[in-house]
Amino acid sequence: MTPFLEVLDLHLQYGAKSVLNGINIQLQRGQLAAICGLNGSGKSSLFRSIAGLTKWSSGEIKVDSIGLSNLTVRQRSNSIAYISTDRPRIQGLDVSTVLEMAAYGRIGAEAMNTHILRCLALVQGLELAERSLVQLSDGEMQKVMMARALAQNTPIIVADEPTSFLDYHAKRDMMQTLQKLAFEENKLVLFSSHDLELVKEFADLRFVLANGTLKKLTSDELI
């Protein structure tokens, strides 16, 4: 079976600094895959490359057998939702409006409100619907950014540290949400995390990124 997402011999350099050295990943829909690594190991650079936000030096990324570099911005956003740890700059809007903007053109007007509420419910954030972004704590913002990614209704979700700023119970809730999206809704979910216990418990595929190279891990190697 052809992988739904392929990263093929990906290299990335910033000036003279080599960040990614021959990264190869093959993933399918219905999988929850985790990438572990220290700060500065290149996880965010890899995720931004997969999302089409950073131009890599050589290699290729394919979505459903089509090269990412051959897709328009709109086509990429219809295929991949990216969740960053950065706080968004559009601070004056309320949460429902932010989600509606993400869903615009993908969800019909008659179904929009139901879709937005479902996305917020999946991240246990229904009470945030009418709040302004400027009123949100870091943990609440993380939930909203996940809900915004869900609003895009894409087959792939790439989440950089999606449990950052969350307490223990909220981390587990978030991981259960990601697991449900992968296993029950047939999405491909790729996330990064420093929490090895959560990775071991929830992810069905696990990788470590170190010194610019990626290695697939077994369960025993995470102990």
Residue 223 has what pLDDT?
A: 52
Residue 26 has what pLDDT?
A: 96
Q: How far is CA 184 from CA 15, 167, 181, 187, 200, in A?
A: 42, 25, 6, 8, 19
Is the separation of the CB atoms in 111 and 172 below 8 Å?
no
Residue 166 has what pLDDT?
A: 87
Residue 164 has what pLDDT?
A: 84
Point out the residues of the chain with pLDDT beneath 50.
none
Multiple choice CATH, 5-88+154-222, 3.30.43.10, 3.40.50.300, 3.20.20.300, 2.50.20.10:
3.40.50.300
Alpha helix (H) residue ranges in 123-195: 138-151, 168-183
Q: Domain-by-domain residue ranges, the chain?
A: 5-88+154-222
Residue 81 has what pLDDT?
A: 96
Residue 152 has what pLDDT?
A: 95
Q: Which two tokens stand for residue 10?
A: 């990906």
- Rounded to 5°, the CA angle 195-56-17 comes to 75
Strand partners, 190: 33, 158
